[in-house]
Structure 1
Amino acid sequence: MPIIMFPSIGYHSRFGYYFSLANVEKIIPYIEPGKSVELYLLEVWSDEGKLIRRFRPFIRLQSLIGEHYEGYIVKHVSLPYDLTSKYNILDGYKVNVILTKYSDTLLLPYELKPLDEESRKLAEKLQDFKIDILLSSTHIPIISRTVEYILESIFRLEDGDLIGSRISLRNSLKILEEELIPRIEYSSLEVGVHMKKLKNIISNLRRFTSIKKPYIEIPGTTKTAITLAAHIIKYINENIERGVIRLTTQESKKA
């Protein structure tokens, strides 16, 4: 599963603002310059330890690994100029990053790996919602979209934004009910019956987390709904991997 890190930002006149992959190399020594990495940018912190920006939704980036010399070779990921300029990301700042893929391959497919104390706290938060398991699903694009909304829902809830959290959660559930479930194909009647029941569960979960006034938030309601949604996504993903069900392409679905 992904690597969570909280690296410092450096600046180089040749390629701009970047963060080092030195700690990543301790875990994955085979990373090479010129290969791509996929990551999510979650937060930006100043050099004084003040939160500058939380990205909602998270910013998803794909970048090529570079390298430069500082008395020794440093492999790095450069941040786009328009991004650093827009959000005033400066030398000495820190960013909260989740690395998900290296060269189109999932990183550490059976593990969620924090690289420092700040990242460990985030990992514990994700594990509390069972998201450590969920993130392994990001190699399936439509499931990846549901994951992004689930992550956004968690952090909005942590920020005290209950309505925002529910909106993000409902976006994830909407994709499940209206886009993913209709694309599922199965070979037996029994599996088809299960999929119909699953769609009903998702539909009820959307109603359970309604944002229409007056809405009811019994303590733990939204957190429970997020966890249930995570388990549903995990259930679907596991059955795709086992070959019990499969997803049609969008083209064949339209046909």
Structure 2
Amino acid sequence: MSVEVYLVEVRDEQNRLVKRFKPFEKLQLETRYRRYRTRLILCLKLDAEKASRLNLEEGYKLVLIITKYDETPLIPSSVRAVYYKLPGILEHLEKAGVKLSLILEQSALNKALSYLWDAWFRLEENDVEGARTATRKTLEVLENFLNKYRIDVEKLEETKDFQDKMEKLISDIKSFLHYGGPHPGPTPRVTTELVFNLVLQILAYLAKCVEMGAVHQNEGGQVGQNRNQVEINPETTKPH
């Protein structure tokens, strides 16, 4: 049996962060049973080559998101992060009805989610400035996404200038995060949380657009009416 997982982060024996992956890294792992005291438990096997490539040491802990078991995709409500209880960022996406596996398989959305994951835990650790930086990087990824893909406004029943407005919204949020110079006093947590939640909503919305088949790739990587477009298939799009 095997499982498809996305490697989120690595922690050492003292639970200190070693690395967060941006984007999350896809791995295929074999399963095996090992005896623990009086019972058998199902474990994931990480071979020496993968462990060496990832610079893992004995006793390190991996945070994984499992998306497939024995080639069978898990239903959205069963996709879980291993090691942590379900973080609030994933809980929000689940409540919004967004397929986490779809975000993970689309390279740009995967990268955006990985930065938001970083921002979430930085807020939990009270590193507000770090959370602000990670959220800004998420916005940069989403900007590039909208430069590369065209949103089908007719399918969404939106106005023709909808994509322009979405791009302006992201640009304005980036400006809101940028102080434009030295900031007196500590970084404001309340406004950082506000922006974080706005960006999470935008990511969830764009994932919904992909799921609905309302996102098309522009050849040449730029938005333009005269370019040929290729529709994203949410079932087959894989990260690069």
TM-score of the two chains, using structure 1 as the length reference: 0.66
Q: 1:52 maps to which residue?
A: 16
Q: 2:231 maps to which residue?
A: none
Q: 1:194 maps to which residue?
A: 162
Partner residue of 2:181 out of 196, 205, 213: 213
Q: Structure 1: 5+ residue runs without aligned partners?
A: 1-32
CA contact (8 A) 1:68 1:75 kept: yes
Higher RCO, 1 vs 2 (CA within 8 Å, ≥6 residues apart):
1
1:176-204 deviations in Å (ceiling 9; x for gaps): 12333541142549443222111111111
CA contact (8 A) 1:146 1:172 kept: yes
Shift of 1:77: 2.8
Could you say what secondary structure the match of 1:76 adopts?
strand
1:39/1:240 CA distance change after superposition, 3 Å: closer
1:23-49 deviations in Å (ceiling 9; x for gaps): xxxxxxxxxx2x351222424242xxx
CA contact (8 A) 2:65 2:79 kept: no
1:126 aligns with 2:94: no
1:141/1:103 CA distance change after superposition, 3 Å: farther
1:249/1:215 CA distance change after superposition, 3 Å: same
Q: Aligned partner of 2:58: which letter? A: I
1:246 aligns with 2:223: no
CA contact (8 A) 2:65 2:81 kept: no
Q: 2:137 maps to which residue?
A: 171
Q: 2:64 maps to which residue?
A: 97
Shift of 1:175: 1.5
1:180 aligns with 2:146: yes
Q: 1:62 maps to which residue?
A: 27
1:36/1:110 CA distance change after superposition, 3 Å: closer
CA contact (8 A) 1:43 1:97 kept: no
Could you say what secondary structure the match of 1:51 adopts?
coil
Partner residue of 2:193 out of 212, 220, 223: 223
Q: Distance in 1 between matches of 2:179 and 2:68?
A: 35
1:103/1:198 CA distance change after superposition, 3 Å: farther
Could you say what secondary structure the match of 1:192 adopts?
coil
1:87/1:241 CA distance change after superposition, 3 Å: closer
1:37-89 deviations in Å (ceiling 9; x for gaps): 1222424242xxx22334234662413314356596845231523157x3433
Q: 1:28 maps to which residue?
A: none
Partner residue of 1:162 out of 128, 133, 138: 128
Q: 2:203 maps to which residue?
A: 233
Q: Distance in 1 between matches of 2:136 and 2:71?
A: 29
Shift of 1:168: 1.6
CA contact (8 A) 2:150 2:217 kept: yes
In the TM superposition, what are the counterparts of 1:110-149 in structure 2 within 5 Å? 110-111=77-78, 113=80, 119-120=84-85, 123-126=86-89, 130-132=92-94, 133=96, 135-136=100-101, 137-149=103-115
Shift of 1:207: 0.9
Could you say what secondary structure the match of 2:172 adopts?
helix
Identity %: 19
1:120-173 deviations in Å (ceiling 9; x for gaps): 3xx253357x24456352232221111111111112222233232222211111
1:39 aligns with 2:2: no
